[in-house]
Structure 1
Amino acid sequence: MKSSRLSVLALVAFAVACGAASNPDVAAKAGDTELSSARLAEVLAQSQAPLEKDVARNIAELWVNYQLVGLAAANNDSLSDAKVMQEALWSQIDNIRVKKFYDNVSKGWDSLSPGTDESRYMSGEALAARHILVKTEPNATPEQIGVAKKKADGILAEATTANFAVLAAKSDEPGAKERGGDLGLFQRGMMVPEFEKCLLVLKPGEISKEVCQTSFGFHIIYRSPFADVAEKFAPVAKQRNVAIAESTYLAKLETSHGVKIESSAPVKAKAIAKNPLGYVKDNAALASYKGGSLSASRFAQWVMAYPPQAQIRPQLVAAPDTLVEKFVKQIVRNELVLKQADSAKSQADTSELQVLFMNFKSDVPRVWGGLGIDPTKLTDSANTSKPKVAAARVDSFYNRLVKNEVPFVEVSYPLAHALQSKYPFSINETGLDKVIEKAKTLRASSDSSKAQTAPTGTAPATPPDTTQK
């Protein structure tokens, strides 16, 4: 199997539950259909994905979700019951409710200015500059660096506030001549530290007295005066007003509710990120506040609700505990804002729900079609039951998918959430342990065979790169 497909599968955040089955020969089960540990080990061993339990679990989760979709198709169940859809779409509905609440509570936030635009710009709330770059290469010799420094010093000697934009034509930065070296308006932290340090030494309207060296080369810097950026700064200041007001609002909300993050929260949050649905029945609190708490179960649902491309799960696993704690606190703030929205009776209206429901309803036949399990076509010549026909076709698709013979079919979180709430399934942790053990043996054997059969002086063959662009 080609590595590009497994790397995709390993990162997909599908929502499936972890069962308590103890048979190590079974990796996963959906309805009456089983995925054997041996089969999953073969899939993992033939890939170039890491032989880790989390990877095995994600691939098993994919199989489970496909089989659950097949089970729904066999029952001609479009999951279109209003209650089922509303529960599956909880995160999107909550987003609508919070937006409506914020639209009301945030009125006037953009005008809550902590000072005049000019005073705020002068204090460095936002930065603006023009610069002229004399570039140096990463592998430049001391002599080459010296030549670049001499050239930059020469340009600096010519520079004045009146001719700086014209002088920018001498810059090595692409497009500098056309822009007059203008870098526009930017926030602190957006430029490399050396450049920002040199810039902050200057007052608006000043040119650097010495050239500034960074990894890019030597810079002559002109910190733009307020008059040059007033029009650009005004909308930025309004956005900043809203950000400050929102931060103040949330901080007060957090304080008034006495939010307390448990000391074990970062460790547990990471464990949940690795295996969210392993914690769907865990009511232990990651954080508490007046009138409620953030349970492990609720946190897991929040984590799964983020789109896969956001990469929340792997980022949480790799992040330091301090950042994980901040993320937990942000989820607590989300919960508190939802409580405020409840009090304000902020709800999604009928038309908004209809749009969400329509999109959900169209998602079901999309996945059915992608897997080749249209409910009207689940028959065979042997009059096999529809669940068995669906399961067989899903297995066939899965086998072709891991060989890169068919395109990947995504099962969205709302659809997976609806399926997992309605149909039985499990991921067997004991089985996954056996998968890793067997996959290591299979891969070692395969590597040994390749080494023995490879022509002298050549490396073992590797599959071509089929990563989709």
Structure 2
Amino acid sequence: MNFKKWLLASITTVFVFSCSQPVLTYEIGGKKKSVTYNDVKDLVEYMATSYPQYLQDVEMLKNVLFSESRASKDIILFEELKAGLTNSPEFNDKFSSEIEKQYFIYLAQEGTNWVAQKTKNTAFPVVRASHILFTVNTNATKEEVRLLAQNTLDTLKKSKNFTKDFSNAAIQYSQDPGSKDIGGDLGYFLEGMMVPEFENAVFTTKKKGLLPELVETSDGYHIIYVTEPKTDKSYSWIEKQVQDGKMSYYVLMKLQQDLQTKTLAMAVKKNYTLEDNKVKVGKNEYEITAIPDNTVLFSVWGKNYTWKEVKNLFALFIPGYEQELSTQFDALMNAAQGFLVNVEGGRKIGKDNADSRRKVREDALIQYAMNNFEQILFQQASSMITDKDVKDFYEQNKARLVKDGKPMPFDENLKNQIRNQLIQSRMWYFYQSWLDQKKSEYKVTFNQNGLNDLLKKANKIRANAEIQGNSPQFQ
């Protein structure tokens, strides 16, 4: 191996080792655990760019790493389990449904890329055109405006230097402020973005050139020059044009809507129709509230879904959905189908397995414990905030409590805002005090070299962000 290759290999080895090196270790139940550089680099980047005041020195960094990493979550879970978190009567019902909900979300997230791959070659009709718009106003009659537009069109038909003359005419006559100063260029656009008359004219034209007739729309009269006739472009091509500034961001928004529609058409097969608020499946017709549970309403990527399964999904994500079912049936069904497209994508790539369920359960249990712990802190903090505390805060800060140049009235709304702020501050104090007590008990230690390295990188990120006004990547 030559020196260059040896050096590269050595640097790579050191980098991989440093990324997997623990920056924080702790013990739970006699088992040693660690938080690595890779585990916290995104956290430190976020704090360095969003809350740099909390990363001024190594001690502050320690506090952030311990309180915001999974170390504190593991300890809170362990403490909550010791206190009987899972012994409450409502735990099994609430927790089981929460796991099921989180598992659906996990599968949907995992399936997103698979669905994107399935649809990445989906084609969308795209046209590019320029126009000169003549609008009817109080200074001229409709016929006068039409005649001006027609005369301009006739002149352009005879032009020897068409491109230049069209651009000049757009600058001189067009009353479309978004395009006149750039020679009438509308850029690329998709079907459904223009008024029907305009869209029909440009999307039915098979070749480049000036349309021979004026096109009348609700905006007025248009002289249209199709600079690129209809062609099919992929999602990635259009996305690249937007990123390069060659197409409007609104095109991308419309594209995403179209892609969602096409994806649903590709993935979902409906077995029902909705007419007069009744659901028809085959030859059978049902009131929405009387659909049999075993009725297969649709399939997603070939997986059948019964009405019972759909209702179970609604119950997880939309408590009280029954009240909206009769009036929002179609919208609810479309939302469910759109969500399940990604869920079934997750299943297609093998994410529906015992390991995934175990991971989701562990994550859900941690979140359940965190919520319970936070509720305890909230109750403790709120019981200590008195009306006098709220009043004192107001008196001390009323010079800053200004809206529209006037002092904010000390009414119930402001009192509640102040109370909530004081409660949050007290909760944070309790949380930090609690963590300080646990550092010794759970043998929390830090890698000093790792801390120094993280702090240097955090300072560099913060400095770059301040100069460039963005969030550089953590490396």
Q: Which has the higher strand share?
A: 2
TM-score bin (small chain): 0.3 to 0.5
Q: Which one has a bigger Cα radius of gyration?
A: 2
Flag the structure with more relative contact order, 1 or 2, with Cα contacts below 8 A and sequence separation at least 6.
1
Normalization by structure 1: what TM-score?
0.42
